[in-house]
Structures are given as structure tokens and as C-alpha cells.
């Protein structure tokens, strides 16, 4: 299986468990690795024959900006569901990074994988 990736997608979102976090937007950075078979697209050179990562990015941005999640774990799980259910991706790795969440740390977040790479 091939991988189509989208890394460094930066979104301002309401995310966090503390009251003060619910009143502001914080930066989250999202990395996606999505399983795909790109042979048909490579042969045809047509975007309709591949996973349209621009459409995926727009949907993920909308989800992150409007979701109002408390946990990065929940956001990551919802992103994986969108990729699999709405875009037919059989396997996805989602990394959600919340830079600055821990003082002295460059970033903190979660990395999940859903589906099969077969």
C-alpha cells in the first residue's frame, strides 16, 4: 500500500480541559499519513483517480476549528473517522500536536493508527 501524506496542517482550535482554554483558540498541528493505492492515478494522471488531499485538509480544518474538543485524543480519533468513513481511506496515522501545552516542551500530543495497511 502506498501512502499519501499531509504534514504540518496548522489550525487554531478551541481545545483543552481548563476553563481558560475553552475561552481561547490554541494552535494544533496535524500530520496525516493515509493508505492508498496510487497506481491508477499515476497511470491516468487524473486527480479523480486518487485521494484528494486538498479536500481532506479542508474537512479536517473544519472539524478542528468547529469541534470544540477537550482532548487531543478525541480530535485525533474524529480525524481518523473522517478519513476512513468519508474518504474511504483503509489505513490512517493521525498525529495531533498541541505546541506549548507543557512548559519547557516543544510539543505534546498523540499519535494513533486506525485500519489495516494491507
Distance CA 72, CA 106 (A): 16
Q: Tell whether domain 2-115 is in CATH 3.40.50.300.
A: no
The set of cell numbers assigned to 74 is: 478525541
**Residue 90 banded pLDDT, cuts 50, 70, 90:** very high
The set of cell numbers assigned to 106 is: 516543544
Question: Does the global pTM surpass 0.85?
Answer: yes
**Residue 34 banded pLDDT, cuts 50, 70, 90:** very high
Residues noted as catalytic: 98
Q: Is it the case that residue 73 has pLDDT exceeding 90?
A: yes
Q: Is it the case that residue 104 has pLDDT exceeding 90?
A: no
The set of cell numbers assigned to 38 is: 496510487
Amino acid at each position: 500500500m502506498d501512502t499519501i501524506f499531509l504534514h504540518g496542517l496548522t489550525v487554531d482550535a478551541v481545545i483543552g480541559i481548563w476553563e481558560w482554554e475553552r475561552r481561547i483558540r490554541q494552535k494544533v498541528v496535524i500530520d496525516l499519513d493515509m493508505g492508498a493505492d496510487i497506481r491508477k492515478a499515476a497511470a491516468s494522471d487524473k486527480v479523480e483517480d486518487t485521494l484528494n488531499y486538498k479536500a481532506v485538509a479542508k474537512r479536517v480544518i473544519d472539524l478542528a476549528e468547529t469541534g470544540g474538543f477537550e482532548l487531543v485524543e478525541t480530535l485525533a480519533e474524529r480525524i481518523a473517522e473522517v478519513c476512513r468513513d468519508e474518504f474511504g481511506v483503509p489505513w490512517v496515522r493521525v498525529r495531533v500536536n498541541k505546541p506549548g501545552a507543557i512548559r519547557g516542551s516543544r510539543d505534546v500530543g498523540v499519535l494513533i493508527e486506525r485500519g489495516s495497511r494491507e
